[in-house]
Amino acid sequence: MKYIVFFVLLIIAFSSCQKDNDEVQVVYAIKGFSQPYKVVYAIGDLNKTEVFNIDPAGSTSYEWKAELQAVPGKVTYLYVESDENISNVSGFHATIFVEGKVFRRAYDYDGTRQMPNDTTFYIKQFGTIPF
């Protein structure tokens, strides 16, 4: 009898320790560009990306956003590409929010690709959505 009670209590204890995999809100936000730029984002399967060409029409106050639901433990990815050098733009950011909190944020470019007569700046932000 002791073993049955112990076994039942053990099962209850383990079942109460499991985390729920409820979906969380993920928001991608980019602000500070005045020239057209490209945005690529994905959650989970990086082979299934969403691609957008954004034109802020000369306004650095324009903020692009995309809101999704995601399961914790999935990889989230944000890639931004532009010909505009925003290194000195004080209000620029490319951010991934999870449940309203900053998860990843960039204030400047990660690097450049140099081509003859062309420079493309890029930002990559990614990580695993926390539980």
E strand or H helix at 26, and its extent?
Answer: strand 24-31
User: What ranges do the domains of the chain cover?
Assistant: 21-128
pLDDT value of residue 65: 95
CB-CB contact of 98 with 25 (8 Å):
yes
State mean pLDDT over 116-130: 88
User: What is the distance between the alpha carbons of residues 127 and 114, in angstroms, rounded to a whole number?
Assistant: 27
pTM above 0.85?
Answer: no
* Residue whose C-alpha is closest to residue 50's, from 78, 82, 81: 78
The arrangement of secondary structure in 21-128, i.e. its CATH architecture, is: Sandwich (2.60)
Residue 16 has pLDDT above 70, yes or no: no
